[in-house]
Amino acid sequence: MGLSQDNLKKHNSVRSKFKTFVCFSKNDEEKAHILESALAEKGFGTYLVDVESHDSFLSSELKDMIRSSVCFIAILTSKLLVSSLFNQEIGYAQGKGLRVILVVNTSLKNDVQNIKTKLSIIEFNENDFKQSCLLVTDKVSKITEILDEPIDFESFLDFYTESKTKPG
């Protein structure tokens, strides 16, 4: 069941409004660019954030990027796993209700089991990273299928809470 040409154009124009937040270690910059290219081919914009190039605290700039993203993606290697900034970013993303996708080096599979939350985990090794990126783009596509516009979850929750507390 494919989309008609008009619906495909509409779907692609809607999708181009969505941004993803990709967190990685400086050692994995090449992987981050491969993932960015795969996401761009599907029409998604990307905030690429190398944790070593930022301070060790979650700045308002990073919070804004996370908040305006449709999902949080991390290329998880041992160096990123021990980053205090990564831990703050993932916690903030989860607090904002973003879907988290971890692209995990197969050698860290057991370490990731300790993260107690709803996560999508995609394993990779050096030989299949591009294939793993395609799986990530499929997951991002599914996340955005139900949305016509990017949504600011914080504003929506404020509106929803206000509407429920107003006297009828």
pLDDT tens per residue across span 54-83: 888 899 999 999 999 999 999 988 888 888
Segment 122-148 mean pLDDT: 81
Q: What is the percentage of the chain residues whose pLDDT exceeds 70?
A: 70
Rounded Cα–Cα distance for residues 1 and 3 (Å): 7
Sign of torsion over alpha carbons 37, 138, 15, 66: negative
Rounded Cα–Cα distance for residues 76 and 109 (Å): 10
Segment 102-125 mean pLDDT: 71
Indicate the CATH number of 13-165 among 3.40.50.1370, 3.40.190.290, 3.40.50.450, 1.20.1560.10. 3.40.50.450
CB 31 within 8 A of CB 130: no
Segment 118-132 mean pLDDT: 80
Residue 17, pLDDT score: 72
The pLDDT of residue 11 is above 60: no
Length of the chain: 168
> pTM of this prediction?
0.70
- On average, the pLDDT of the chain sits at 78
pLDDT tens per residue across span 25-51: 999 999 999 999 999 988 899 999 999
Segment 14-31 mean pLDDT: 85
Of the two residues 133 and 5, the one the predictor is more confident about is 133
Of the two residues 142 and 149, the one the predictor is more confident about is 142
> Which residues, in sequence order, are CB contacts of 60 under 8 Å at separation 6+?
none
Phi and psi at residue 36, to the nearest 5°: -60, -45
Residue 62, pLDDT score: 93
Of the two residues 119 and 19, the one the predictor is more confident about is 19
CB 108 within 8 A of CB 78: yes
Tokens of 70: 């449709």
Query: Which residue in the block uniquely carries the two structure tokens 């990779």?
Result: 124
Rounded Cα–Cα distance for residues 86 and 67 (Å): 15
Domain boundary assignment for the chain: 13-165
Q: How far is C-alpha 19 from the chain's CA centre? A: 8
Residue 14, pLDDT score: 46
